[in-house]
Structure 1
């Protein structure tokens, strides 16, 4: 760090000693970095992995009441809710898997186990093995006729008839290419030798003539209508079988990810440096995806063409920033989801996404010829995303209603992700959940008459669970606890297991009947050491950004007795993540650290900056083509808010964060030196051209096409602006944000002659730290940085 040479008078020395003594007395805490960053078991035991038993009698979850080395499976029976029972190994082995396919009456469920197909009778609580073919059966489904089952084996579709016990193979899909019989051309010399041999040896000649006659006979008897499909150099994925057994769709994928990187592990147990395989860099994903439709009756495959989709040749708006470049108008590459068949199997839809991330089409797939008709197009000049919209190969929230004419899906068309239905016959579309809030994880009820869904309707800081008629209408709120209510419905929908937390209360398990009434707490896992501290409830505030937007934040304020007029700005990671809310944060260590900082007199602000989740499309895309733009100015405006409203000394403001938060910290220290005196950048991206494709190309496009976006978004280009004190911390076996990032940055800082920075490296840590010793070391350095750089101002 920067070194200072100071000369004090005797009076000044005495004054400084007295002031320091006052600070030591005033700024005390029952917390310490060592306490906070120890193994999280010190906090208590908390449930996770909640799921119901198939008979709706037991709630199962991961827990630890016996101080085991790791969590084990426990259960609570709804008839005896006060007793938490550890599940025996025998019971675990006999448990029915939680995922399967039900018949229409929900009396039976299909599932696979060790590659075998089973049928479970829920009323009789009996399990029956149906098929063991010696190979792995996957994705069994009841067909439109519940007496038939479809399944997939070795990339082919099959039907099993429950009544007859027979198996029918629907498709003939083969890997590789067709092998044509070819006559081997002999050289002149070998042809002469063969003719001589046949002339001399009569038996050999007779065998040759017989073999040729047999070949001619087999060809004459071969079926002219036999059909086989060969995948060539592509892989099969996403096989989907229509409920009437007439059609099968599948994706053909050719993966070419470019040059993969390697991360050296210097502390491998072997004593040698080992190379860990890692991702490729942005711009290197050359995956190709095609959709195929296998028409069983016609015994042929149609390759689905997307060349005529509306807007398929549209260029993005950012091309106007490159007037000297000639842009070719061409059919854009797309990625298709598997087909979604209607319940009667007569119709199908597919979700299609452009690889440049600008378009999502939902199209009807015409089963007679594999052609497409667009039903809905969502265009976003930034990038398509948001709750329920899925990712590359998935359609997200997408499917059919039982009437076989309405589809449902989620869209950000209004600026917030909402649930829609659309009539495929007339194109009429309806937003079922209008308003300035978001919808999460909608699912149809067992009888298909209602939706169950989670929303932020009461505010972005809380989550509640609702029930709503299938075609929209009044939403009935089924939860009532302030915070986050993650609901797991029992299979019979009579009960809700609620995974609940509040700002200062970690997740616990509750039970409630589906409907009105109060939830009953089933677990209470806080340790005495954890509950003895009075954990703060951060104040939720909004401040105005320079562009007029109201920015949400969490605020931690010290008592007047301990206040030191210094502030710390925390920047959450992931970019698209929400941390300003009224539930237990995924950044629980940082939450506890903020309590410690507040005890010591710091004011702490935690901001949901532009790019964060939970606030709709405009907030999500506020960082498009300029990371380190509004997401950084929101931090600066937060600091200004503290100066104006909380009497913070402008020279005593620090900033820190990990991953995306580390990136913002670097940008803050390099480009806003008048605002931030000290910063700790943890596991930070320093050059976005070196990060992965899936995340980065959404926000910044590709480096070769949009270098402006990368140049203004990457901290390594702004390192000359460093003036304050900087701590860089990084795990050396980070296969997400590579250690190479900070190595390159350190060389840049060295070449620039900067001496006010230091680096802490962690040889055994990946992107998310695991070892308590690493957490303790890292956060001790952060606290030391702020104490030395901010409190001495």
Structure 2
């Protein structure tokens, strides 16, 4: 394979324009001449090919079925990855030795248990690796390659972990076991029961019962025998070590949120809360079913209807059977009225006056759905444990350790945000060889890496106007590897900080978007790399600066490579509402400055907190191809990372707090001005479209700034945030009960009277994310307002993310027709 060096030229080769830097970077980074892999950043393609909607919206298998879920082999000598079967949703596993020259070979079903897992765990000297396959536990000896199947049954086992004494622990349900790998002996360590603790048979109460025991000898004897059996069993449990320990009874009507066992198997931390009850109103009708009936599908609750139950953190002593609830009162700010200003503003709107008082906040473990690391982290020694806690009002995150002797929480770090604490950038853990914690925090405005000893001040390891993510600590505490966008907000590379010196080293310089996985021997990096024109493929490099990067897979189809595609330019649009520019992809047609002024389209990405104007392959690949089609036909297309998007720091993310749909549309207006002034665009021939959050933005643009666009398409759009979910919406708008002003100012349904331009509304009917009800209510409001500027298309079998190529094609034919007719 031929390799080239292109370091600083990488950006130019990707056809990226770096106009207007974000800010000067303030960080010390050792740079090296990095050898990079030869990757086509521009496909010449066949200029005679005209892109078509039929091809773009067809089953995406035609792109080539790129590698997924890649992870290392146990010996770091090969890589395993999945690849979708052509025409089917099933995935096959492939093994790709580092020494091979092709994509590797498919792994037989009979050998899948041999592959290990990306979530493998290691023993103390890293000679053993444990993982889960299909609910069973396996252990691999890294020195001999011997594989041992520890469990083989129809029950599911989870969370393998090596204890300090060498035994392997795992859980089955809420029961933990320890396996002695040498003898094969299995012992139950602890079992959690959400029941009331059994009690000794009660003495008779009430006149009749007491008399019955006096008068009837058999009844009295049965009572006496029952009491003796209960007492004898309790004594046997206490005095005979061969008996499994008694379960911990947490109480009836509770549910376990999370639990974590100490490596010494002497303590366990458990979070519990009241068991939630399902609301029978939370349903969605499905009109197209196999049996012809209408099915009432169960769906999530609306933010208006959710009140999260408080969590209690309980410390279980497995040696003496005692349990202690840990108080939150040691956490700074645990009783602050952090929403006082919001409550006062809403009270004033009602003609009332709000008096702020101390309150007991609803606190629990940090939700780890995004980073999936676990909010309870034990030190390998078992002597220390740390928890990441959050307030349910979304304004605080704490890291606290536990004083096991005094059974108290000891605060180590507080991250307070007047808007909301990010659900990303919450990675934390212990250094392996000291009692110091490492963690990510946005406290300076960008996610950065910190190290803090238990009895000392935190030390900031990274600094600058960029975001650090995916930290990975080496086993000997030499390095923390991470991913960051130091050079440009859209360029993600791999770095590491040398813990002994605090210096940062850059390990990749590929010029696109790069993620990594460290090999088990910690000598290599498995890279997932892409550009705007190159879907994600796998690469490998030594885990050191200046290493050669070798490509492992090439799964892109010949058909895709033949397309005459152009990479968008990434421009920095000056903002009229702040110092930071708005980064955007711009698709420019040939000779766009010549001739009449051009038509233009602004695309609004979904999710809100998502980055799409970066240098990597986009999840919006259909839209990328559609934008190429539009450019091929003379349109200018802009795809903006408006305020609220990811990748640009905390202030960019939280600009929409309590006013969704205002900063973003201001940014779209700046984008329109940029195109008019720089890309020969006719201000009166510009349309907009987007899905999900992008559909919401289309609504807000056409409703609140009717002169900005001449037409718009809103796909699977949110119309009323009070109907969306709690986890996302309460971050940004608080809750309707506390902050109705924010919901009314941010929900399109309150602004429908502003619609004067053609609007296309496309709505999937079995969308369990943004309910079809959102469109139904908004359409009814438009009808009642006698507005005739809209059309609606429904998709009876589609969820939030369309599945059928016919649906994709129908949707984009309608969008294309809208723009052709009105621009």
Do Structure 1 and Structure 2 share a fold, with TM-score over 0.5? yes
Q: 1:319 aligns with which of 343, 349, 355?
A: 343
Q: 2:384 aligns with which of 323, 326, 347?
A: 347
Residue of structure 2 equivalent to 1:358: 395
Residue of structure 2 equivalent to 1:492: 521
- Cα distance per residue 1:437-496 (max 9 Å; x no partner): 111101111333211111111111111112322356222222221101122232222332
Residue of structure 1 equivalent to 2:331: 309
| Preserved CA contact (<8 Å) 2:72 2:519 | yes
1:417-436 equivalent positions in 2, closer than 5 A: 417-426=447-456, 428-436=457-465
Cα deviation for residue 173 of structure 1 reads: 3.5
Question: Structure 2 CA distance, aligned partners of 1:636 and 1:748?
Answer: 27
Question: Structure 1 CA distance, aligned partners of 2:663 and 2:723?
Answer: 22
Residue of structure 2 equivalent to 1:469: 498
| Preserved CA contact (<8 Å) 1:358 1:382 | yes
Q: 2:198 aligns with which of 171, 179, 184?
A: 179
Cα deviation for residue 135 of structure 1 reads: 4.9
| Preserved CA contact (<8 Å) 1:358 1:379 | yes
| Preserved CA contact (<8 Å) 2:470 2:483 | yes
Question: Structure 2 CA distance, aligned partners of 1:480 and 1:358?
Answer: 37
Residue of structure 1 equivalent to 2:698: 665
Residue of structure 2 equivalent to 1:736: 769
* Higher mean displacement: 412-421 or 131-140: 131-140
Relative to structure 1, the CA distance from residue 132 to residue 237 in structure 2 (aligned partners, 3 Å threshold; closer, same or farther) is farther
- Ranges in structure 2 where 5+ consecutive residues have no aligned partner: 1-46, 239-245, 367-374
1:318-717 equivalent positions in 2, closer than 5 A: 318-322=342-346, 323=348, 324-326=352-354, 327-337=356-366, 338-385=375-422, 387-389=424-426, 397-426=427-456, 428-470=457-499, 473-515=502-544, 516-549=546-579, 550-560=581-591, 565-717=598-750
* Higher mean displacement: 487-496 or 686-695: 487-496
Cα deviation for residue 336 of structure 1 reads: 2.0
| Preserved CA contact (<8 Å) 1:257 1:286 | no
Question: Structure 2 CA distance, aligned partners of 1:66 and 1:133?
Answer: 33
| Preserved CA contact (<8 Å) 1:733 1:739 | yes
| Preserved CA contact (<8 Å) 2:71 2:117 | no
Q: Do structure 1's residue 122 and structure 2's residue 142 form an aligned pair? A: yes
Question: Structure 1 CA distance, aligned partners of 2:268 and 2:225?
Answer: 36
Relative to structure 1, the CA distance from residue 67 to residue 186 in structure 2 (aligned partners, 3 Å threshold; closer, same or farther) is closer
Relative to structure 1, the CA distance from residue 225 to residue 41 in structure 2 (aligned partners, 3 Å threshold; closer, same or farther) is closer
1:195-214 equivalent positions in 2, closer than 5 A: 198=216, 205=217, 211=222, 214=225
Residue of structure 2 equivalent to 1:757: 790
4+ long deviations beyond 6 Å: 65-69, 190-196
Q: Do structure 1's residue 245 and structure 2's residue 236 form an aligned pair? A: no
Q: Do structure 1's residue 292 and structure 2's residue 311 form an aligned pair? A: no
Question: Structure 2 CA distance, aligned partners of 1:666 and 1:209?
Answer: 76
| Preserved CA contact (<8 Å) 1:142 1:150 | yes
Residue of structure 2 equivalent to 1:229: 248
| Preserved CA contact (<8 Å) 1:34 1:776 | yes
Question: Structure 1 CA distance, aligned partners of 2:596 and 2:662?
Answer: 31
Cα deviation for residue 518 of structure 1 reads: 2.8
Cα deviation for residue 640 of structure 1 reads: 1.6
Residue of structure 2 equivalent to 1:394: none
Question: Structure 1 CA distance, aligned partners of 2:377 and 2:516?
Answer: 26
Relative to structure 1, the CA distance from residue 187 to residue 632 in structure 2 (aligned partners, 3 Å threshold; closer, same or farther) is same
Relative to structure 1, the CA distance from residue 60 to residue 131 in structure 2 (aligned partners, 3 Å threshold; closer, same or farther) is closer
Residue of structure 1 equivalent to 2:287: 266
- Cα distance per residue 1:541-600 (max 9 Å; x no partner): 112222133111111112236865211111000000001111111111101111111111
1:130-209 equivalent positions in 2, closer than 5 A: 130=150, 135-145=155-165, 147-162=166-181, 166-171=185-190, 173-180=192-199, 181-183=201-203, 188=208, 198=216, 205=217
| Preserved CA contact (<8 Å) 1:59 1:76 | yes
Cα deviation for residue 247 of structure 1 reads: 1.2
Cα deviation for residue 129 of structure 1 reads: 3.9
Residue of structure 1 equivalent to 2:44: none
Relative to structure 1, the CA distance from residue 91 to residue 191 in structure 2 (aligned partners, 3 Å threshold; closer, same or farther) is closer
Cα deviation for residue 335 of structure 1 reads: 1.4
Please tell me the root mean square deviation across aligned C-alpha atoms, in Å: 2.6
Relative to structure 1, the CA distance from residue 563 to residue 87 in structure 2 (aligned partners, 3 Å threshold; closer, same or farther) is farther
Q: 2:276 aligns with which of 256, 281, 295?
A: 256
Of structures 1 and 2, the one with the larger relative CO (CA 8 A, separation 6+) is 2
SS in 1 for 2:682: coil
* Higher mean displacement: 597-606 or 222-231: 222-231
* Higher mean displacement: 733-742 or 37-46: 37-46
Q: Do structure 1's residue 282 and structure 2's residue 282 form an aligned pair? A: no
| Preserved CA contact (<8 Å) 2:568 2:587 | yes
SS in 2 for 1:636: helix
SS in 2 for 1:649: strand
Cα deviation for residue 84 of structure 1 reads: 2.2
Relative to structure 1, the CA distance from residue 537 to residue 118 in structure 2 (aligned partners, 3 Å threshold; closer, same or farther) is closer
Residue of structure 2 equivalent to 1:774: 807
Relative to structure 1, the CA distance from residue 294 to residue 784 in structure 2 (aligned partners, 3 Å threshold; closer, same or farther) is same
Relative to structure 1, the CA distance from residue 562 to residue 572 in structure 2 (aligned partners, 3 Å threshold; closer, same or farther) is farther
Question: Structure 2 CA distance, aligned partners of 1:158 and 1:680?
Answer: 55
Q: How many residues in Structure 1 have an aligned counterpart in Structure 2? A: 746
Q: TM-score, normalised by structure 1?
A: 0.89
- Cα distance per residue 1:642-689 (max 9 Å; x no partner): 122223222111110000000000011111111111000000000001
Relative to structure 1, the CA distance from residue 89 to residue 114 in structure 2 (aligned partners, 3 Å threshold; closer, same or farther) is closer
| Preserved CA contact (<8 Å) 1:62 1:71 | yes
Question: Structure 2 CA distance, aligned partners of 1:470 and 1:312?
Answer: 33
Structure number with bigger Rg: 1
Cα deviation for residue 86 of structure 1 reads: 1.4
Question: Structure 2 CA distance, aligned partners of 1:95 and 1:39?
Answer: 30
Question: Structure 2 CA distance, aligned partners of 1:421 and 1:187?
Answer: 68
Cα deviation for residue 216 of structure 1 reads: 5.9
Question: Structure 1 CA distance, aligned partners of 2:747 and 2:231?
Answer: 68
SS in 2 for 1:457: strand
Q: TM-score, normalised by structure 2?
A: 0.86
Q: 1:85 aligns with which of 94, 105, 113?
A: 105
Residue of structure 2 equivalent to 1:60: 80
Relative to structure 1, the CA distance from residue 143 to residue 730 in structure 2 (aligned partners, 3 Å threshold; closer, same or farther) is same
Relative to structure 1, the CA distance from residue 89 to residue 228 in structure 2 (aligned partners, 3 Å threshold; closer, same or farther) is closer
Cα deviation for residue 500 of structure 1 reads: 1.3
SS in 2 for 1:512: strand
